[in-house]
Amino acid sequence: MHDFVFSMMLLGALSTGGNTPFWAVSNQYGLMPDSNGALGVMQAYKPFDESKTFQWRAGVSLAANWQPALAATGSRAILPMVDELYASARWKVLRVDLGMRHRDSEFMGADPLLGSLSTSEGHIIESNNARTMPGVNFSLEPLAVPFTGKHLLISGDWADYTTIDDRFVQGALVHRLRAYLRYDTRKHFYVQLGLDHYALWGGTPSDPKYIPVDVNFDNYFRICTGRSASASGSVSDQMNCLGDHGGAEQLRMGWRDSAWDLTFQWEKPYSDKSGMRFNNIPDGLYTLHWSLKDKDNWVTDALVEFHYTMWQSGTIHEAETDAEGNQLNWYEHKDLNIFGLDNYFNNGEYRSGWTHFGRMIGAPTFYTAYGSNGIVSIVNNRYKAVHLGLSGKLFRKAPYRLMLTFSDNYGTYSSPYISPSSARSGWNWWEPNTIDKGLKQFSGAFTGYVPFSLGGRHHLDLVYGLYADAGEVLAKNFGTTIGVRYSFR
């Protein structure tokens, strides 16, 4: 039987620049204060009991952060938050999750409490960088296809959520679809193909000139099948898919040994048909993760990632042409492929983009910012980066995580950090690009905790973190977090 777990954490944050450094706030569930302050989290949950066929779990997590700097401006200095509130049921390979729950992370280090070593936590479009959304998720856990000797497995998710933040389209709904196909030798090697898709739809636009997407069965069917809008929809939604669609296509390969695992993954984002049709190669997040199965070593996990999102299907937004080179008309060719200037995770009608409470829902290296109109958007979706992650246990007792991220950031095609932009220039991705100029950035973190046993089921941890930012996008900044965490099982 799995026990009920209760934990409580108090954490203080202090930095030289006043703002909390990048890795102190990124992939922290959207809970950490943006400036010097403190965070308190209290959670209770019951995990699945793996010994039973029918299982259930439930959890609640409440948080509040405190930012003294806000009090000086007359704003609310204490922000209470519902972090998690969920219930789940599982029968064999079928699972349903209802409510607000943290996203599943991959490429973990020596201890799950420290989080993933990856910038994206294994999913470029859905990390734990933003606040949770309420909704329902139906999951098919890995299921062997009949007559394949358990070598071929399928899995996936079908989910619907609602945004609850202040955004350009208030109350926008989110439809999620994940589908994976894996071939497993059942010895050492496996390969997996996957599709991770999202769609924003419904809601009420803040600007009345935008046509809202009605929430009804017909439009839900169009969202789920990637169809265009009916005649009552906007011109953009008639030309393209109804709503704001995006996602990632995944290739993963792994080798399992008796003492270690090695995993390679390529996740390629897309924002339209051209990206789904691989016009945006070589864009993507390339990850290599090595992991020891014995987690009581000085070094147990190492990860290296390479990010490249510069191409975005080309520098010219154009439609497919016929055999004579004439550009095709979308009124006559509803499946027309319009490619170039993909602008990952932004949208002209759902102008808050793929964000929640001001933070990128996916990998935090896609920087966000609020404009003069008060609307948040992805301001940096063209960048190159190298990220290194390392984890283990100091003295084989105290878990730690090291994160080092080096990036060259270009903004977006339409709003580059440094003008001019290569938009409409016609360069090819395999040729040297001498037009774009980027801004260098480094962000690093060393985090961990020192465990103390209070006897029996009581545990006390001293939690710490050291952080640094240096570069041309984020101001030079050094910071620290320190706190205590008490848990009872």
Q: What confidence category does residue 1 fall into, taking pLDDT thresholds of 50, 70 and 90?
A: very low
DSSP tag of 346: -
pLDDT tens column, 154-191: 999 999 999 999 999 999 999 999 999 999 998 999 99
Q: How confident is the model at residue 335 (pLDDT cuts 50, 70, 90)?
A: low
Question: pLDDT category, 236, cuts 50, 70, 90?
Answer: low
Count up the domains in the chain and report the number: 1
> Distance (Å, rounded) from C-alpha 87 to C-alpha 84?
10
pLDDT higher than 70, residue 324:
no
H-helix or E-strand containing 68?
helix 68-72
The answer to whether 31 touches 41, Cβ cutoff 8 Å, is: yes
What's the gap between Cα 110 and its chain centre? 21
Q: What pTM does this model have? A: 0.93
In a domain, 111, yes or no: yes
Q: Is residue 329 part of a domain?
A: no
At 477 the three-state DSSP class reads strand
Q: How far apart are CA 360 and CA 380, in angstroms?
A: 11
Cα dihedral sign, 50-51-56-57: negative
Structure tokens given for 129: 């960088």
Q: How confident is the model at residue 79 (pLDDT cuts 50, 70, 90)?
A: very high
Residue 254 lies in a domain: yes
Q: Give the whole-angstrom CA distance, residue 183 versus residue 86.
A: 32
Q: Within a domain: residue 205? A: no
Residue 166's Cα: distance from chain center in Å? 19
Query: In the predicted model, what is the mean pLDDT of residues 448-467?
Result: 92
- List pLDDT tens digits, range 345-358: 999 899 999 999 99
Query: What's the mean pLDDT when you consider all of the chain?
Result: 92
Distance (Å, whole) CA 201 – CA 243? 5
Residue 196 lies in domain:
107-200+248-323+336-437
- Sign, CA dihedral 92-97-98-101, equals positive
Q: What are the φ/ψ torsions at residue 70 (nearest 5 degrees)?
A: -70, -30
Cα separation of 269 and 247, whole Å?
6
> For the residues of 242-297, what is the DSSP string, one character each?
SSEEEEEEEEEEEEE-SSEEEEEEEEEEESSHHHHTTTTTT-EEEEEEEEES--SS
Contacts by 104-108, CB closer than 8 A, 24 or more apart: 107/263, 107/287, 107/289, 107/301, 107/303, 107/389, 108/301
311: in domain:
yes
Spatial neighbors of 304 by CB under 8 A, at least 6 apart, are 287, 288, 386, 387, 388, 389
**455 part of a folded domain:** no
DSSP 24-50: HHTTSTT-S-SBSEEEEEEEEEE---T
Residue 19 CA, distance from chain mean position: 22
Check whether 116 has a pLDDT greater than 80: yes
Distance CA 17, CA 25 (A): 14
Average pLDDT over residues 399-419: 97
Indicate the burial class of 147 (C-beta count within 10 angstroms; 0-12, 13-18, 19 or more): exposed
CA atoms in the 13 A half-sphere facing the CB of 191: 1
Predicted pLDDT at 270: 93
Residue 486 lies in a domain: no
Percent of the chain beyond pLDDT 90?
Answer: 78
Q: Point out which residues pair with 442 in neighbouring strands.
A: 406, 470
Assign 379 a pLDDT band (cuts: 50, 70, 90): very high
Using the predicted structure, report yes or no on whether residue 109 has a pLDDT greater than 90.
Answer: yes
- Across-strand partners of 216? none
Note whether 129 and 359 are within 8 A (CB): yes
Q: Dig out the tokens for 163 from the structure.
A: 């945004």
Does 274 fall in a domain? yes
Q: Is the confidence at residue 30, as pLDDT, over 80?
A: yes
| Sequence-ordered strand ranges (E) for 363-423 | 368-370, 376-378, 383-394, 398-409
Q: What is the pLDDT of residue 244?
A: 92
Residue 300 in this model has a pLDDT that exceeds 70 = yes
- Which range, 227-241, 378-392, 415-429, is most confident? 378-392
Q: Which residue has the higher pLDDT, 319 or 333?
A: 319
What was the pLDDT predicted at 23? 98
What is residue 372's three-state secondary structure? coil
**Each residue's pLDDT tens digit, 310-321:** 999 989 876 655
